[in-house]
Amino acid sequence: MVSKPHGGRLVDRVVKGKRREHLLEEARELPKIELSFDRAVDVEDIAHGVYSPLEGFLVQEDYLHVLYDMRLSNDIPWTIPIVLDVDPTEIEGVKEGDDVALTYNGNVIAVMKIEEIYGWDKKEYARYVYKTTDPGHPGVAKVYSMKELLIGGPVDLVNSVPNPLDKYVLWPIETRILFREKKWRTIAGFQTRNVPHLGHEYVQKAALTFVDGLFINPLIGWKKPGDYRDEVIFAAYEALIKNYYPKDVVVLAGLRMNMRYAGPREAVHHAIVRKNFGCTHFIVGRDHAGVGDYYKPYEAWEIFQEFPDLGITPLFIREAFYCKKCGGMVNEKICPHSEEHRIRISGTKLRKMLQEGKTPPEYMMRPEVAQAILKFDNPFVT
């Protein structure tokens, strides 16, 4: 069975019809808060149920519970504080209980009821969420650049944030219908922000042996320079699915969600999100959502022991490599040969080859996938 949404009910705060017209009219007179791209994306994800059971940005009680206990105040597992930061000047004259219009690029996207205005300690946030206060960590650097106050309360989405990749996006309400139509009872979610190499394919196909369907869900949105462009990731996956997967066992759809690089905590967050999409299982990478050497190997696996009530089954599939002696993709559990026979797939090496316009060897990447990537003049974010 398609999984139950986290917290038992799929949140839907997308306003339509007469109520939308009424809210848009009302918004003209309301105080305005201009959102960054990241926060505008959070508003959309809340409204479409990606972050169920959240109805809006966290109030202080929930914020502190999530920060210290990795649970909401009602004890539902939740690991990443979803917060809206503001400067005191932006909310001058606004008090708790007031409505405000949230804008992006000057256009109203949502109306928010402010339930609480409160201060926060950015260093404390970094220490607990990222396990480091080092501004060299990209997630920590983002937190340090955020504003002085937080506001909590429910949001109602009245307009979408423009998205050039909209054709690739499916929301939880849509995937749940799709999985049911396909009669999939078990679905493994796979998150990525990279083009697929043979190691990814190995892990995905290992998961597919246990479940009815695979949901490949690339993140689109904020990326670091040097990351693959979103269109490139989709073109690469389309080539892989067309040439190397049985018909009708894969759904490929994008999700615009902020990448926080919070390692273990974010691994759990990503599992919860895929539970909301209807997945019963979630493939967790060895260094899931990690960056640099901030997290220990397999730390992203160990954290799941703290959440027996998560409601989605994590799949821990060991990293694959090519073994010259075995003559194929294997992992440490099934290959008896020494390191000299093993070729590990390095994402950095792959990037370098593709940057130079070279086709990687077939034990690293399928030729059709490489061709799909090399059709782009510049496959990388600059």
Task: Name, in order, each residue with C-beta under 8 angstroms of 226's C-beta and a sequence gap of 6 or more.
Answer: 351, 380, 381
Mean pLDDT, residues 125-132? 98
Mean pLDDT, residues 149-171:
96
Active site residue 194: yes
pLDDT tens column, 188-230: 999 998 999 999 999 999 999 999 999 999 998 767 788 899 9
Domain boundary among 157, 191, 216: 157
Percent of the chain with pLDDT over 70: 100
Cα distance between residue 374 and residue 362, in whole Å: 15
Please state, in angstroms and as integers, the Cα–Cα distance from residue 162 to each residue in 42, 44, 145, following that order.
14, 11, 24
| Pair (196, 146) in one structural domain | no
- Predicted local confidence at residue 289, as pLDDT: 80
Domain contains 54: yes
> 109 lies in a domain?
yes
As for how many domains the chain has, the answer is 2
Same domain, 296 and 322: yes
Residue 144, pLDDT > 70, answer: yes
Pairwise CA distance, residues 196 & 194, whole Å: 6
Residues 60 and 116 in one domain: yes
Identify the pLDDT of residue 222. 67
Tokens 């705060």, residue located: 13
Determine contact, residues 289/300, Cβ cutoff 8 Å. yes
Q: Which of 71, 194, 318, 342 is catalytic?
A: 194
77 and 49 share a domain?
yes
Residue 255, strand partner residues: 219
Q: Give domain status of residue 313, yes or no.
A: yes
CA distance 282 to 324: 30
Domain end (from 107, 129, 157): 157
Write out pLDDT tens, residues 250-259: 999 999 999 8
The structure's pTM equals 0.96
Same domain for 43 and 170?
Answer: no
pLDDT at position 326, please?
Answer: 97
Q: Do 223 and 266 sit in the same domain of this protein?
A: yes
- Domain final residue pick, 140, 157, 174: 157
Q: Is residue 188 part of a domain?
A: yes
Task: Give the model confidence (pLDDT) of 310-355 as tens digits.
Answer: 999 999 999 899 999 999 999 999 999 999 999 999 988 999 999 9
* Token pair listed for 291: 């960056």
The gap from C-alpha 215 to its chain's centroid, in whole angstroms, comes to 13
Helices 230-244, 367-374: axis angle to 10 degrees equals 150
Q: Is residue 196 part of a domain?
A: yes
Q: Is residue 11 part of a domain?
A: no
| Predicted local distance difference test score (pLDDT) of residue 298 | 86
The active-site residue, picked from 20, 127, 193, 286, is 193
Tell me which residue of 209, 217, 218, 114 sits closest to 175, measured CA to CA: 217
* Residue whose C-alpha is closest to residue 53's, from 3, 20, 9: 9
- Here the tokens at position 42 are 């959070």
Domain residue limits at 130: 17-157
Question: Same domain, yes or no, for 232 and 312?
Answer: yes
Do 243 and 335 fall within a single domain? yes
Decide if 379 is inside a domain. Answer: no
Query: Does residue 107 have an active-site annotation?
Result: no
- Do both 153 and 170 map to the same domain? no
Question: At 101, which CATH number?
Answer: 3.10.400.10
Q: Which CATH number covers residue 235? A: 3.40.50.620
* Mean pLDDT along residues 67-94: 98
Mean of per-residue pLDDT scores for the chain: 96
Residue 325 located in a structural domain:
yes
Say if residue 99 is in the same domain as residue 211: no
Residue 18 CB partners (closer than 8 Å, separation 6+): none
- Domain identity same for 214 and 320: yes
User: What is the predicted pLDDT for the residue at 297?
Assistant: 81
128 and 202 co-located in one domain: no
